[in-house]
Amino acid sequence: MDDYVSESDSDYTSYWRDWFISSRGNEYFCEIDEEYLTDRFNLTGLNTEVQYYQYALDLVTDVFDLDCEDEMRESIEKSARHLYGLVHARYIVTTRGLAKMLEKYKKSDFGKCPRVQCHSHPLLPMGLSDVPASKPVKLWCARCEDVYNPKSSRHAAIDGAYFGTSFHNILFQVYPALIPAKSVERYVPRVYGFKVHAAAALVRWQHSKRDDMRRRLRKMEVESGFKDAEDDVEEDDDEEEDEPEEDEDAVVGLDAYEERQVAGYIEAGGGQQPGTVA
């Protein structure tokens, strides 16, 4: 993060934003238009939020020409990055900003959802708070609608307020066509082919919640967004259907110890058993 100082007399000085967004660790940021940055209205209130506000702004907009000590310069640098982040949170919810972030989203610049059933769906950066320096940036998956920690510690240290709590939700409001199809695919823990009772009971409860929701939405004539046909509500809630392959030799290796271990905690119905209709 601090390596800019050493390059201060290279070509990059005239293109601070270029340098900033291409720095390692800053992959989540898009480039804010000059036009947006120079419109004071867009920066309302930030002067009290950022130290050396004017110098920082000069630096970001490539008009900085103060001759100063390295230490001072470094402070201004730091302020410039903070200022850029704060403006960024505002910029990415504008039409231009949304479009830029969308391009990055399409290229999976923010990474992919680690959840197996999301099949590498691209993520979006988000904040859990709009207050600077309160929560680091997180990643949002529009497919499972959940929040994940960035893999790299470099990203995990970025302030979440530079992306804000609304951006990722606004994006899909503005581009509803991009809302990914929702899926009922899910993982069900098993032991030797059999569902674990405690988990299976929870899964059944969750599926009834899901079906309730789908019925509510249908009543309101709102598209539920599940890729599965709307009328599958009842049918699809049994995972057997999602996992057609059942291992025939599930019991190989099951010795007496494990048999004892497992008894009572697993459910029939998961493993393929003789006489079960496949």
Partner 1 sequence: MSTSSGIPESWISSFCSLLGHEYFAEVSEEFIEDDFNLTGLQTQVAMYKEALEMILDVEPEDDDDDEEEEEEEDEDVSGDARDGVTGRGERRHHSRIASDLSVIESSAEMLYGLIHQRYICSRAGIQQMSEKYDLGHFGMCPRTNCNQTRTLPVGLSDIPGEDTVKLFCPSCLDVYVPPNSRFQTVDGAFFGRTFGALFLLTFPEYDLSRSAGENATNLARLPPGDDGSMLNGMHARNIAPGLGPGKIYEPRIYGFRVSEVARSGPRMKWLRDKPADMSVLDEARHLAEGHGDSDDDDESMSLQGRPIARRRAPGNARLRQQQRPARNGSPMAVESTMNGA
Q: Considering the rule CB under 8 A, would residue 170 count as an interface residue with partner 1?
A: yes
Identify the residue among 30, 113, 161, 184 touching Zn ion (CB under 5 A). 113
Question: If binding means CB under 8 A, how many residues of this protein chain bind partner 1?
Answer: 88
Tell me which DSSP letter residue 118 carries.
G
State phi, psi for 43 to the nearest 5 degrees. -105, 10
Identify the residue among 82, 90, 100, 210 touching partner 1 (CB under 8 A). 210
* Cα distances (Å, whole numbers) of residue 120 to 113, 176, 184, 196, 255: 5, 20, 16, 27, 38
Q: Considering the rule CB under 8 A, would residue 276 count as an interface residue with partner 1?
A: yes
Instruction: Tell the smallest beta-carbon distance from residue 30 to partner 1 (Å).
Output: 20
Tell me which DSSP letter residue 5 carries.
G
Q: Which is nearer to Zn ion, 133 or 178 (CB)?
A: 178
Instruction: Tell the smallest beta-carbon distance from residue 228 to Zn ion (Å).
Output: 17
Q: Considering the rule CB under 8 A, would residue 262 count as an interface residue with partner 1?
A: yes
CA pair distance 92, 168, nearest whole angstrom: 9
Identify the residue among 30, 118, 139, 233 touching Zn ion (CB under 5 A). 118
Instruction: Tell the smallest beta-carbon distance from residue 16 to partner 1 (Å).
Output: 30
Burial of 6 (0-12, 13-18, 19+ CB in 10 A): exposed
**Token reading at 105:** 């989203």
Q: x/- contact string, 93-122, with partner 1 (CB under 8 A)?
A: ---------------------xxxx--x--
CA pair distance 153, 134, nearest whole angstrom: 17
Decide which of partner 1, Zn ion, none touches 157; Cβ closer than 5 to 8 Å per partner kind. none
